[in-house]
């Protein structure tokens, strides 16, 4: 009787809160539920998640706005009629609660941040992850000088911005343009380009011009009011941080303003790499004050549908975080 009671109590303790996506659709498909807390295997860490994020990718995965060309490949990967992993969520920041006996890089108590890849599962209080990089995630120690909410922006925006900016091999004095400068990746791309010593131009809407300047941009253009660029202006590197689906007459003009030998890269050119070495580099630059991740709004886990509605409008400034616990 005593053993049975003990088992029941233990079983009760093994629950956690998570947001479950029961089918593809609008934000209302997300439901807060109580589910079993995962148990780490020998080669896994158990992360107590403090913050997750609602990113462009989460909106995409939830499924209401997948462009037709991505629909079939995406559904084959993440589930045909509903997400194969019912707990979605791509970004996390938290603390290692326990580490399996084959774990070498982390110890209980370490503060970590990263992406969960096809494993998803970040919309929950706990998540098990391997310490090695794969399509199922990458993990590194979190920058010590920022909150868990800010760390989610550094992880997602940083991995995106750094990966695509690196293709430019940017050198001091070069002219760099970031199109979509006020979003999660754009705000970090502006700061990274400044860190690399470039002369930086940001393109965003009118309401974000001051914000983008405050991040270090030397020049800003408003794509909602300006259609052309001075024909004298040329850029050595252009990053389209807004993605191919978002365009304007000014974007067309920017593409034409490449210097001979210049490079134009879209953030949609190829898959996002889950790279813990890059996370470690982002940590260094954040701790040195070169990159300040920007949180637009922070919601609680029960309000995640509201956060999806907000992000779905496509005009967040920096990132949107979810405080988990
Ligand atoms: N390669 C990959 O594997 C991969 C993975 C994830 C995401 N992505 C891509 O990365 C993109 C960016 O993600 P993110 O989270 O950094 O973006 P985001 O935070 O959603 O921000 C996009 C920014 O774009 C701006 N914007 C909206 N419409 C625009 C337009 N027509 N012209 C110029 N700017 C416009 C908005 O600024 P204003 O409010 O100032 O208009 C917004 O702040 C995604 O949309 C996706 O295409 C690629």
Contacts of 162 (CB under 8 A, 6+ apart): 188, 192, 278, 281, 282
User: What are the strands, taking DSSP E only, across 180-269?
Assistant: 199-204, 219-222, 235-240, 258-266
| Cα–Cα distance, 35 to 22 (Å, whole number) | 13
Residue 165 CA, ligand 1 centroid: distance in Å: 15
Residue 14 CA, ligand 1 centroid: distance in Å: 38
**Best probe residue, ligand 1, of 267, 307, 310, 319 (max atoms within 8 Å of C-beta):** 267
Nearest CA to ligand 1 atom 12: 242
Confidence at residue 12, expressed as pLDDT on a 0 to 100 scale: 57
Top-confidence residue, 82 or 113: 113
For 194-223, b/e burial (b = at least 16 CB within 10 A) is bbbebbbbbbbbeebbebbeebbbeebbbb
Q: Read off the pLDDT of each residue in 120-137 and give the average, rounded to a whole number.
A: 98
- For residue range 15-65, list pLDDT tens digits in order: 999 999 989 999 999 999 999 999 999 999 999 999 999 999 999 899 766
DSSP for 33-95 reads EEEEPP---TTEEEEEEEEEEE-HHHHHHHBTT--HHHHHHHHHHH-SSS-SSSB---EEEEE
Q: Which atom of ligand 1 is nearest to the CA of 246?
A: 31
- Domains in the chain with CATH codes: 14-142+294-323 (3.90.180.10), 158-266 (3.40.50.720)
Contact residues of ligand 1, CB 6 A cut-off? 55-57, 157, 160, 179-180, 182-186, 204-205, 208, 223, 241-243, 246-248, 267-268, 271-272, 314-316
Which of the four pLDDT bands, split at 50, 70 and 90, describes residue 77?
confident
Which of the four pLDDT bands, split at 50, 70 and 90, describes residue 6?
low
| Cα–Cα distance, 78 to 116 (Å, whole number) | 13
**pTM, to two decimals:** 0.95
Residue 108 CA, ligand 1 centroid: distance in Å: 36
């Amino acid at each position: 009787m005593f053993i049975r009671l003990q088992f029941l109590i233990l079983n009760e303790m093994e629950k956690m809160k998570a947001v479950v996506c029961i089918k593809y659709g609008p934000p209302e498909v997300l439901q807060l539920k109580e589910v079993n807390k995962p148990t780490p295997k020998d080669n896994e860490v158990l992360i107590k998640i403090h913050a997750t994020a609602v990113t462009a990718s989460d909106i995409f995965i939830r499924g209401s706005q997948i462009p037709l060309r991505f629909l079939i490949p995406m559904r084959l990967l993440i589930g045909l009629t509903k997400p194969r992993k019912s707990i979605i969520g791509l970004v996390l920041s938290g603390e290692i609660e326990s580490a399996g006996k084959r774990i070498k890089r982390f110890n209980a108590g370490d503060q970590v941040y990263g992406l969960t890849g096809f494993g998803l599962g970040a919309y929950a209080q706990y998540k098990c992850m391997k310490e090695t990089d794969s399509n199922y995630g990458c993990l590194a120690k979190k920058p010590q000088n920022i909150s868990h909410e800010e760390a989610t922006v550094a992880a997602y925006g940083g991995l995106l911005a750094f990966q695509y900016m690196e293709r430019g091999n940017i050198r001091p004095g070069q002219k760099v343009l970031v199109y979509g400068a006020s979003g999660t990746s754009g705000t970090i791309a502006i700061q990274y380009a400044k860190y690399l010593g470039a002369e930086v131009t940001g393109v965003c809407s009118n309401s974000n011009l001051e914000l983008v300047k405050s991040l270090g941009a030397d020049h800003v253009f408003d794509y909602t009011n300006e259609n052309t660029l001075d024909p004298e202006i040329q850029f050595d590197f252009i990053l389209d941080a807004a993605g191919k689906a978002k365009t304007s007459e000014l974007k067309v003009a920017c593409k034409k303003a490449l210097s001979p030998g210049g490079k134009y890269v879209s953030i949609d050119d190829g898959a996002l790499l889950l790279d813990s070495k890059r996370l470690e580099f982002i940590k260094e630059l954040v701790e040195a004050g070169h990159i300040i991740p920007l949180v637009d709004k922070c919601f609680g886990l029960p309000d995640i549908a509201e956060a999806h509605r907000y992000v779905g409008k496509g005009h967040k400034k920096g990132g949107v975080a979810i405080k988990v616990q």
